[in-house]
């Protein structure tokens, strides 16, 4: 996941280190609960995985969910900005899908309340996967008999199981399996005192003492566990005017305000997870910071108004590396076929695309 955006300014919240150590150091759960209207089933997860990897959910048959959120690596695409249909480039960097099920809202600006809400957006976005309509998505999937059968098996109680709502539910069900527990940090907080190095322990102490846990708390290091749809947002930068603001173009994107239109939401962002942060460079919403050590310096200055020593930076980076978990094995699914013909458009007119901004 992209590196954190916001920690409260030093002095705004008085942190009790002992209390933080007792309450904030939480191991990642190995499973996350599913909503009552979308219970996990094996066939639903299987269907969701196929849909996640299928580029035929994009207009030209070139992009899948995995194109921007690669579960064979860090869950993102290692780019400053993702590439959409017809080589469109956007203003935001793809957040990691790993452990996204533990976030109470989705996207950098929190515009989707759940994994189900998030799953449909990129498919229909004209500058991401660019399918022209829900009807066209269902028509294309309906021409693949194996998908028709799998939707019927995954949603047996429904009169019309092949629907956009069920597509979203299936993809979300698969994404709820993408949890990375048992990091060195998790082992340490469960009682294995040898799981972290001395440097990582120093970094963990600095993380609390500096004030990072004011925002990056909880098992997912993304703030308190809130009900779905109630996102945890913080302002970035808290201390404006630093050299980093200009160098990395940090305030051009107004964040949450781009969704709500409210002045009070300018430069407010959903607090991202720090889980597996070592694997998701480049950092921040616009992917402009190339390395984790530089991201630590940026956060210290913009959010805490502090200049860190090189030793402090190295200790914090070492600790953040301890948050890399164990990844469940992923195998590429065999996708449904339609023998003797294609479901994709062939004419130049149908394949024409727009090139504007892609957003995550």
**How does pLDDT run across 27-82, given as a tens digit for each residue?**
999 999 999 999 999 999 999 999 999 999 999 999 999 999 999 999 999 999 99
pLDDT over 70 (residue 21):
no
Burial class (CB in 10 A: 0-12, 13-18, 19+), 73: middle
pLDDT of residue 229: 86
Same domain, 186 and 174: no
Same domain, 172 and 189: no
- The whole-number average pLDDT for the span 242-258 is 97
pLDDT over 50 (residue 312):
yes
Alpha-carbon distance of 95 to 104, in angstroms, equals 14
- The whole-number average pLDDT for the span 236-254 is 96
| Max Cα–Cα distance, the chain, nearest Å | 68
Contact indicator for 288, 249 with CB cutoff of 8 Å = yes
Establish if 261 belongs to a structural domain. yes
Counting other chains too, the contacts that 295-298 makes at CB distance below 8 Å and 24 or more residues apart are: 295/3, 296/320, 297/244, 298/244, 298/248
Query: Could you tell me which residue, 19 or 228, shows the higher pLDDT?
Result: 228
Per DSSP (E only), the strands in 194-311 are: 233-235, 268-270
For the chain, the first-to-last Cα distance in angstroms comes to 13
Catalytic annotation on 350?
no
Which of 32-41, 80-89, 148-157, 264-273 has the weakest average pLDDT? 80-89
Helix 115-124 with 134-142: angle, nearest 10 deg: 90
The count of domains in the chain is 2
Domain of 110, CATH number, reads: 1.10.760.10
pLDDT over 90 (residue 228):
no
Same domain, 214 and 82: no
pLDDT of residue 23: 54
| Size (the chain), residues | 360
- Is-cis flag, bond preceding 282, omega within 30? yes
Same domain, 185 and 315: yes
Alpha-carbon distance of 140 to 142, in angstroms, equals 5
Q: What tens digit of pLDDT does each residue of 173-225 get?
A: 999 999 999 999 999 999 999 999 999 999 999 999 999 999 999 999 999 98
pLDDT over 90 (residue 259):
yes
pLDDT of residue 235: 97
Q: Which of 128, 175, 245, 294 is catalytic?
A: 128
**Residue burial 171-194, b: 16+ Cβ < 10 Å; e: rest:** bbbbbbbbbbbebbbbbbbeeeee
pLDDT over 90 (residue 348):
no
Same domain, 293 and 245: yes
Same domain, 185 and 109: no
Establish if 95 belongs to a structural domain. yes
Contact indicator for 187, 324 with CB cutoff of 8 Å = no
Share of the chain above pLDDT 70, in %: 90
- What count of Cα atoms within 13 Å lies in the side-chain half-sphere of residue 187? 15
Alpha-carbon distance of 201 to 232, in angstroms, equals 27
- The whole-number average pLDDT for the span 251-277 is 97
pLDDT over 70 (residue 112):
yes
Owning domain of residue 51: 42-178+329-351
- The whole-number average pLDDT for the span 129-147 is 97
pLDDT over 50 (residue 1):
no
Same domain, 338 and 223: no
Contact indicator for 73, 93 with CB cutoff of 8 Å = no
Establish if 357 belongs to a structural domain. no
Alpha-carbon distance of 343 to 336, in angstroms, equals 11
Establish if 133 belongs to a structural domain. yes
Establish if 36 belongs to a structural domain. no
> What's the pLDDT band for 9 if we cut at 50, 70, 90?
very low
Establish if 356 belongs to a structural domain. no
Per DSSP (E only), the strands in the chain are: 233-235, 268-270
pLDDT of residue 332: 95
Same domain, 223 and 271: yes
Same domain, 164 and 189: no
Q: What is the mean pLDDT of the chain?
A: 91
- The whole-number average pLDDT for the span 340-349 is 81
Establish if 102 belongs to a structural domain. yes
Query: Could you tell me which residue, 139 or 360, shows the higher pLDDT?
Result: 139
Q: What are phi and psi of 296, to 5 degrees?
A: -60, -45
Same domain, 26 and 53: no
Same domain, 47 and 162: yes
Establish if 185 belongs to a structural domain. yes
Run of H or E residues at 161: none
CA distance to 40, 205, 240, 292, per residue, from 319 (Å): 34, 9, 27, 11
89 DSSP β-pair partners: 83
Q: What are phi and psi of 45, to 5 degrees?
A: -65, -40
Same domain, 54 and 128: yes
pLDDT of residue 36: 96
């Amino acid at each position: 996941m992209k590196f954190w955006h916001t920690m409260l300014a030093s002095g705004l919240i008085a942190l009790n280190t002992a209390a933080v150590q007792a309450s904030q150091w939480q191991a990642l759960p190995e499973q996350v609960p599913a909503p009552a209207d979308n219970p996990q089933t094996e066939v639903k997860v299987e269907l969701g995985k196929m849909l996640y990897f299928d580029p035929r959910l994009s207009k030209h048959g070139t992009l899948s969910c995995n194109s921007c959120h690669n579960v064979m690596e860090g869950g993102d695409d290692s780019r400053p900005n993702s590439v959409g249909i017809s080589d469109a480039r956007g203003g935001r960097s793809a957040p990691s899908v790993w452990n996204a099920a533990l976030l109470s809202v989705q996207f950098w600006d929190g515009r989707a309340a759940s994994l189900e809400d998030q799953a449909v957006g990129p498919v229909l976005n004209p500058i991401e996967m660019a399918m022209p309509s829900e009807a066209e998505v269902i028509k294309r999937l309906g021409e693949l008999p194996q998908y028709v059968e799998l939707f019927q098996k995954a949603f047996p109680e429904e009169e019309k199981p092949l629907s956009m709502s069920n597509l979203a539910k299936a993809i979300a069900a698969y994404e709820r399996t993408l949890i990375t527990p048992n990091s060195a940090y998790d082992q340490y907080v469960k009682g294995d005192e040898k799981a972290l190095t001395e440097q990582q322990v120093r970094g963990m102490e600095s993380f609390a003492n500096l004030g990072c846990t004011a925002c990056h708390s909880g098992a997912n290091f993304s703030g308190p566990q809130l009900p779905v749809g109630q996102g945890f947002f913080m302002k970035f930068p808290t201390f404006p005017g630093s050299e980093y603001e200009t160098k990395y173009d940090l305030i051009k994107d107004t964040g949450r305000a781009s969704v709500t239109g409210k002045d009070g939401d300018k430069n407010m962002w959903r607090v991202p997870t720090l889980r597996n942060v070592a694997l998701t460079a480049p950092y921040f919403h616009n992917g402009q910071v190339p390395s984790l050590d530089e991201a630590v310096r940026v956060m210290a200055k913009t959010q805490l108004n502090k200049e860190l020593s090189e030793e402090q930076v190295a200790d914090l980076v070492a600790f953040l590396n301890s948050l890399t978990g164990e990844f469940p094995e992923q195998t590429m699914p065999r996708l449904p076929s339609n023998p003797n013909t294609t479901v994709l458009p062939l004419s130049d007119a149908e394949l024409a695309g727009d090139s504007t901004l892609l957003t995550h």
